[in-house]
Amino acid sequence: MADIAFEKDLSVTETGIEGLKVVDLAVHGDSRGWFKENWQRAKMTALGIPDLRVVQNNISYNEKRGVTRGIHAEPWDKFISVARGSVFGAWVDLREGSATYGKVFTCTLDPSRAIYVPRGVGNSFQALEDGTAYTYLVDAHWSLELKKTYTFVNLADPELGIEWPIPLSDAVISEADLNHPFLKDVVPMAPKRTLLVGSETEVGNAIRSIVECQTSLKEYDFLDKSAFDICDPRTYESIDGSMYGAIINCSTSGCDSLGGGAECESDVWTADAMGSVHLARFCAEYGINLVCLSLFTARRPDSDHLSLDLDGALLPLGLTKAMEEIAVQCCPSHYIIRLDRHLISNNDAHSIAETILDMLKNKLPYGTYSSSGHLLGA
């Protein structure tokens, strides 16, 4: 067995690859063996480890010293640790557009040292002892659909220059891993997609128009209300939330379009509020950034306090909009764009669309914003 460093303080070290973090664990041992807190959410997030939403725990058992696996970049974040034995690990940034694309980091992991690996960073390891048990927590369920998005690079690529402790000629490697492409031929892992629901609305059309001019449509899915009804719980069963980094909700019931009136039924407004509950719950489950429009008729649209000083006809709608905002705030990573219902021109819709896209691109603080992008409240 590897010499385990007991009684270290829990600490996190940066690696030079964004998001890839080495974690030194506090392992307590004596003549009986050892004990450790392998994943401790509160302590680790306080040290800068992302709040991993664990949905699956995998174990790779490696019978013989020299078993080597990788290099695989997968579409989820993972926390890797060792339960028995030790490994030499090598990680390669394979994320499209990353400033450190192709950069390599290596280190040895044993029961006292773990590593947090972000989505799109290629992972590989070589067992340094017989009977090594390598474990990892992930924040997305494995699926055949997600497997199609994996990215691979060859263990022996001279451009990577990985110095394996056991020469690859003496290692135990699968045929698939022997035949992965070299870095020059790798297809980088694309960012998570953005889903826009309510693509038939004024703002939805404006966002699509901007995206078509500025970026690749392969990063976006556009669905109208007939394809994605936020009020129907069955809608959420038809999509894989782990594919998405953001959902922009531009959908409307028809009674709260930018220029709509107050002549809709209260049961429709209530359905909209419940739709916001379903959508917020879905986004919270998958860690998705949620952007919602709050089409609120208020005398103070640029205030961080909702004004319910409305005329009688609009009071039920105003209350419903307040309920929707409260529901959206149940998703930790949310943006609420509070609008004045009197914004009805195409120019207004285009400006709102630009504000939304800039928020996501620049990763602004979560909270409630005016239509011009002014933060009203966290």
Q: Which two tokens stand for residue 147?
A: 């497997």
With CA atoms as reference, report the closest residue to 160 among 97, 109, 86, 93: 93
Q: Which two tokens stand for residue 86?
A: 């030790």
Q: Is 61 a catalytic residue?
A: no
How deeply is 195 buried, as exposed, middle or buried, from its count of CB atoms within 10 A (0-12, 13-18, 19+)? buried
Q: Is 244 a catalytic residue?
A: no
Q: Which of 116, 134, 136, 244 is catalytic?
A: 136
- Neighbouring residues of 42: CB distance < 8 A, sequence distance ≥ 6: none
- Rounded Cα distance between 351 and 302, Å, is 16
- Rounded Cα distance between 268 and 321, Å, is 12
How many residues does this entry show for the chain?
378
With CA atoms as reference, report the closest residue to 294 among 268, 317, 265, 262: 317
352 within 8 A of 343, measured Cβ to Cβ: yes
How deeply is 161 buried, as exposed, middle or buried, from its count of CB atoms within 10 A (0-12, 13-18, 19+)? exposed
- Rounded Cα distance between 353 and 360, Å, is 11
Angle at which helix 346-362 crosses helix 202-214, to 10 degrees, equals 60
Q: Which of 61, 72, 278, 350 is catalytic?
A: 72
One-letter amino acid for residue 295 of the chain: L
Q: Which two tokens stand for residue 67?
A: 């078993």
93 within 8 A of 121, measured Cβ to Cβ: yes
Which active-site residues does the annotation give? 72, 136
